[in-house]
Structures are given as structure tokens and as C-alpha cells.
Amino acid sequence: MNTLDGHVVIVTGAGSGIGKETALLTAREGASVVVAEVDAKKGTAAANEILASGGQSVFIETDVADEDAVAAMVTETLNTFGCIDALVNNAGIDLEGPTTSFSTENWKQVIDINLGGAFLCSRACLPALRRQGGAIVNIASVHANFGFAGAAAYDASKGGMVSLTRSLAMENAPDQVRVNAICPGYIDTPLWDHFLAQESDPEKIDRITRDSHPLRRRGIPLDIAQAVRFLISNESTWITGTTLVVDGGMGAQFFQRSFD
């Protein structure tokens, strides 16, 4: 028996990176997966990949910062599969720059998608989740725990997701809805590729990858997807309001270096 047999799982930002790997893995574990993605081409491809492998999936074009689009996503999910057992708030963007020159428009975009999207999707899914219990997992970042120069908006959005996680966990525990967050380290995704594209020194790129993680490798989307699978499965029914750091030892190393 697969760990997620009979589950209906919504994964936002499921067209690439962590979201896509999470959608694929949860489908392999028996879940019916909603690929909620703003990019129709990527979202359709991800859902088709699940269907081609014998899984159950539907693509729903979703802008997580749009309240009406989120409401439509939930309605279509319920019309298609009848219930919602888990929501994975993964959709996000990263715009960086010095605070003094960072535009209000860019700040609003990062906060609205990363933090606002997690709020809107959670709020819309909670009535369905409360009917039979379930789980929400928010994909935050190690940026929630450390300050990075030039990343004020991204850091604030991810820190907010961790705080939102705790509040939602407390509000919904009586209805057996568990809410947890994951803080990934540097993961090999299109978002990371965008960051690397700004670096022209291959040696520096290698050093960042190697030295930032005591396990001496950059993470891969499957590392995070496996943590998500655990947190939405029946193997974690007494875990809520917590943040699981999956970072190859990055955080422990930062703490150690503060005393070097």
C-alpha cells in the first residue's frame, strides 16, 4: 500500500522545481494531484507526466496572488475529486536588490505571491480540510532564519510563512488539520539557476555550493518532496506547528561560524 493512497493533494507552483517533484512523488505514492500553476505550458506538462505514468492528476491554471483564481482552484478540485486532504504552498518568486533602491512594486509582488499566496490558498482550502482532517505544508526557506543582504523582500516573505504556519496550526488543530513548514537550503531549481546566472566566476559558484552545505552538495527537489510526503502522510499525525529544516547542515554551519 502506498503512503498516500486515496489522498487528494494540491501543489501550487507545481510546474517546475520542488513543486513538480512533489507532485510527481505524491502521485507515485497514490495521491490524486492537482497541479496548480500559473504557467499553463509547464502545468499541463507536469499533469500529463503524472497521467502518462498511470497516476491521477489535473492541471488548474492558478495565480496564487489572485483571490478569485484561488477560489476557482478549490471549486474545480472539489468538483473533480470530491475532497482535499493536503495543500502544499510552494509557489514563489525571488526578486532581490538593496532596500534603498528596491521598488514598492517589486516588494508587493514578492510578498503577495510568496506570503499572500500561502494565506489565500490556505484560507480557501481550510473548510474542505476541516471536514475530515488533513495537512498544509508551507515551503519557506533558510532565508526565514537568517538575514541575507539584498534579499529583504524574499526573507520577509519566507519568515512570514513560518509565522503563518504556527498561527494556522493553532487555529485548526481542533479540527485535526496539521500545518507545518519546510525550510530548504539551496536547491537545484530554476530559481537557483537564475541566481547562478548572475555569477560569472565558476569557481565561486562551486565554492558557494560546496561550502554552504556540510554535506557538500546542493539539494535536489526530491530532498524536499520526500519531506513533504512525510508531513502530509499518516506517518506524521502528531506533528503540527513546526518547521522542518532540510538544508544539508547549512543552518548548523552558520551557527558554528558565528563563534569562529
Q: Based on the residue annotation, tell me whether 154 is a catalytic residue of this protein.
A: yes
Q: Give the Å distances, CA to CA, from 50 to 27, 59, 79, 87, 210.
A: 7, 10, 20, 18, 33
Q: Which residue has the cell 563563534?
A: 259
Cα dihedral value 48, 51, 57, 62, nearest 10: 0
The SS3 assignment for 115 reads helix
Q: Which of 59, 81, 119, 154 is catalytic?
A: 154
The SS3 assignment for 179 reads strand
Beta strands in 71-140 (DSSP E): 86-89, 134-139
Residues tagged active-site: 154
